[in-house]
A and B are shown apart, each in its own frame.
Chain A
Amino acid sequence: MSAAINIIEKVPFFGGMFKVEDNELNPVNAWPSLMAMTAFVWFAIAAVLGVSMPTIQFLDLGPNWYYKNITLHGAAMAFPFAFQLMVAMSLHRAGACLGKRADDLFVSLFYIFMNVGALLLTLAVLSGFHVTYTVMFPLPVVGVGNGQWSMATLVLGFSGIALVLTSMIFIYPIKILKMSFFEKTDDTLQVAERTLKDPGMVGMIMGVLILLVTGTPLMIVAGSLLLHLYGIFPAAWIGWAADPVVFEFVFYIFAHNLMEAMAIMIIGAVYSTLPLCLADGARKLYSDKIAMIALWILLVTSLTSFFHHFYTMYPALPSTFAYHGNIMSYATAVGAALTIFTILATIWKHGIIATPALFLILGGFVMYILDGVSAIVISNVAWNFKLHGTMWAGGHAMVVLIAISALWMGMLYYHYPLMTNRTIDDSLARSSIKYLFISYLGLFYSFMAAGAAGMPRRNGDWEGDWFIYGGFIFFFGMMMLYAFVLYFLSLTRSKAIDY
């Protein structure tokens, strides 16, 4: 039996989400199931932390708790939840489409690095390392200097971050590239045959290449700093890496493209799944060509749109880069507009079968586009100076992750019968989707309105009418928790398929 199945069976409560049968499809099912299950464990913790934030403000428990919880919430949601869920589903898809094993050393190393790294970071945050999931360099170092946390905590936190980044930037991309181009095909695993020309596979390969290419400079900078912290590199060697401007740029070149990579990957997956849910069984998109052009536009324009993170440094960021970032951000949206067209034209032409899986995928797509609009608005130089640093920006980062996660959760519904030989509970799934969508809209507009009203993000001491927006965030946050409980139940109450 696969080690992964062994672990799932031993995990109380969450293990029930994936009653994976021990069979010949283990190599593509077992580890992805374990990863998806673990992602939901992180989600449960992080969601409670999410609703704790407005609670801390209402009960006046102090900014320190706010900063602890925002760091844990952001980090857990972005990495071991959203990213790990994506890796789980893409490994399963790559395995079953290309007939490659998703259970080798790379896969288990990814799992260990991601989850152990996230645990180390959690320990550091619990002992006071409150730097938010964007690290805010040079804050970690300055914080040691003025006594906010200890050197040991900094080393622990950075070690955790390094493990997480290694899993995302090296281990996962290399594994997907190996599966796509090198490993031997095993016909028994290839249950849903696809070629590398399929938009879904193209999106996946583009995504991992983005991670590898834009992440490597960050790994070099962060790696140098870490080796210095371990006492291996002398200070003289790492002065260049400790320059805040160097760090901030390599960080955002990666962080921005990380979101784009995740978006390209899921859009690709939608392109390959939608045709399988068409009412007339046509099994094809309105146009593969337009789908492909959209992916390429997203890829090319996203690479340099990261400048929108730095407009407000003007003139330290020369305005020409600001205008370039502005134009590229809107060009990205042209890729999204083509995607909207392809999806709607496909649905219009062939009709769709309204399964929960497809509905969650379409709902997630709507969430993704709504968020995209908030992104292009704040990418305009004039609007950016009004919104940067407000809840608008924080809300956009959060809801893009929720949208992408919702899309992968739809993919999980779609692949669940293949992964476990069971069918999800249809009516629980439908109400889960309903509440997820409503709570998404509620959270989204609460954050956007708070931003428009001038409520700062990451502020541990709310004032005046910020509490109104916080109240809405609490309410819709509870609703989102409820939606996830229903999602959880729709899997634990799944029924075995008998032939």
Chain B
Amino acid sequence: MIEFLYTNAWGAFIALLMFQIPFLLVFFHVVNKKAFVDSEPSKTDPEKYSYSRYGWIAFVVVAFIVVNAASIKYMPTIVEANASTSQDVKNVSVTARSWFFEFSEMEYKVGQTVRFQAKSVDTVHSFALFHPDGSQLFTLMLVPGAGTESAVVHTFTEPGEYTVRCLEYCGVAHHAMKNTLTVL
């Protein structure tokens, strides 16, 4: 479950709803009650406001800490940093230019862990990899002259044709900046 939340973009969508729905329910309840049902001043004990104030802020802060702490393991920055000590990571270089990609290698095996190192040589591009089912696995933003290449470590777990796209708008043929990587 936690893994799905952070490694699939629909997990982000679920997180979105988990934050939004309670807010919507409370907000509409309060507004509806105090605008239409009973707009008289409430006789709520002043103590109660201060309890709910501290309770609410504590809840928000704890929720934020939990959501982010649970995500640390899945941060590509952390995955990449950990992989730098491991031997069996294959280095692949990617060069983006208007409007195509060059790869040092385009065929991979299931189970293989790859470090993609990508750069752009003209304008801002990105290197985004899509699962055969259409979902986005990651994207790297490539700013020319950034001094160092952008990098991400990815382990292929399923065979298929993986689409590569540029996601940073780069001119008239931006949409055509596509390629395919094969995983056997």
| Residues in A neighbouring B35, C-beta threshold 8 A | 351-354
Size bin of chain A's contact surface: 35 or more
A84: interface (CB < 8 Å): no
B38: interface (CB < 8 Å): yes
Report the Cα distance A392→B41, complex, angstroms.
Answer: 41
* Given A314-B151, A458-B174, 16 extra CB contacts under 8 A: A138-B124, A142-B122, A244-B123, A244-B124, A313-B150, A323-B77, A334-B60, A337-B57, A337-B60, A347-B34, A351-B39, A352-B35, A352-B39, A386-B135, A388-B167, A389-B128
| Residues in A neighbouring B13, C-beta threshold 8 A | 448-449, 452
Measured CB to CB, the residues of A under 8 A from B are 63-64, 67, 130-132, 136-139, 142-143, 146, 148, 243-245, 248, 279-280, 282, 286, 290, 310-316, 319, 322-323, 326-327, 330, 333-334, 337-338, 340-341, 344-345, 347-354, 362, 366, 369-370, 373-374, 376-378, 380-383, 385-390, 392, 448-449, 451-454, 456-461, 464-465
Given A333-B64, A373-B19, A314 and B42 contact (CB-CB distance below 8 Å): no
| Residues in A neighbouring B74, C-beta threshold 8 A | 382
Partner of B145, one of A243, A351, A380, A381: A243
B85: interface (CB < 8 Å): no
Partner of A389, one of B23, B126, B131, B137: B126
B8: interface (CB < 8 Å): yes
Question: Shortest 3 CB-CB distances between A and B: which pairs?
Answer: A389-B167, A351-B39, A316-B146
Closest A-chain residue to B23, C-beta based? A369
Is the Cβ of A381 less than 8 Å from the Cβ of B165? Answer: no
Closest B-chain residue to A378, C-beta based? B12
Report the Cα distance A370→B138, complex, angstroms.
Answer: 25
Is the Cβ of A459 less than 8 Å from the Cβ of B174? Answer: yes
Is the Cβ of A460 less than 8 Å from the Cβ of B175? Answer: yes
| Residues in A neighbouring B56, C-beta threshold 8 A | 337, 341
Report the Cα distance A310→B126, complex, angstroms.
Answer: 12
Interface string of B49-74 (1 = CB under 8 A from A): 10011001100110010011001101
A-B contact pairs, 6 of them (CB 8 A): A136-B169, A139-B123, A279-B34, A351-B40, A351-B41, A460-B175
Interface centre among A243, A351, A366, A464 (most CB of B within 10 A): A351
A153 CB, nearest partner CB in chain B, Å: 13
| Residues in B neighbouring A248, C-beta threshold 8 A | 124, 143
Given A390-B9, A449-B13, A63 and B126 contact (CB-CB distance below 8 Å): no
Is the Cβ of B27 less than 8 Å from the Cβ of A366? Answer: yes
Is the Cβ of B172 less than 8 Å from the Cβ of A338? Answer: no
Closest A-chain residue to B29, C-beta based? A344
Is the Cβ of A148 less than 8 Å from the Cβ of B68? Answer: no
| Residues in B neighbouring A449, C-beta threshold 8 A | 13
Is the Cβ of A136 less than 8 Å from the Cβ of B130? Answer: no
Given A352-B35, A448-B13, A456 and B71 contact (CB-CB distance below 8 Å): no
Is the Cβ of A143 less than 8 Å from the Cβ of B171? Answer: yes
| Residues in A neighbouring B155, C-beta threshold 8 A | none
Partner of A330, one of B16, B31, B68: B68
Partner of B134, one of A323, A369, A465: A465
Given A136-B168, A388-B139, A388-B141, A377 and B12 contact (CB-CB distance below 8 Å): yes
| Residues in B neighbouring A316, C-beta threshold 8 A | 143, 146-150
Given A333-B64, A382-B71, A340 and B23 contact (CB-CB distance below 8 Å): yes
Partner of A366, one of B10, B24, B36: B24
A426 CB, nearest partner CB in chain B, Å: 15
| Residues in A neighbouring B172, C-beta threshold 8 A | 63-64, 67, 130, 148
Partner of A453, one of B34, B81, B128, B134: B134
Closest B-chain residue to A451, C-beta based? B9
Is the Cβ of B167 less than 8 Å from the Cβ of A390? Answer: yes
Given A279-B39, A316-B143, A316-B150, A382 and B136 contact (CB-CB distance below 8 Å): no
B75: interface (CB < 8 Å): yes
| Residues in A neighbouring B67, C-beta threshold 8 A | 380
Is the Cβ of B134 less than 8 Å from the Cβ of A315? Answer: no
B89: interface (CB < 8 Å): no
Is the Cβ of A386 less than 8 Å from the Cβ of B12? Answer: yes
Given A349-B49, A378-B12, A386-B12, A139 and B170 contact (CB-CB distance below 8 Å): yes
| Residues in B neighbouring A392, C-beta threshold 8 A | 9, 12
B76: interface (CB < 8 Å): yes
B29 CB, nearest partner CB in chain A, Å: 10
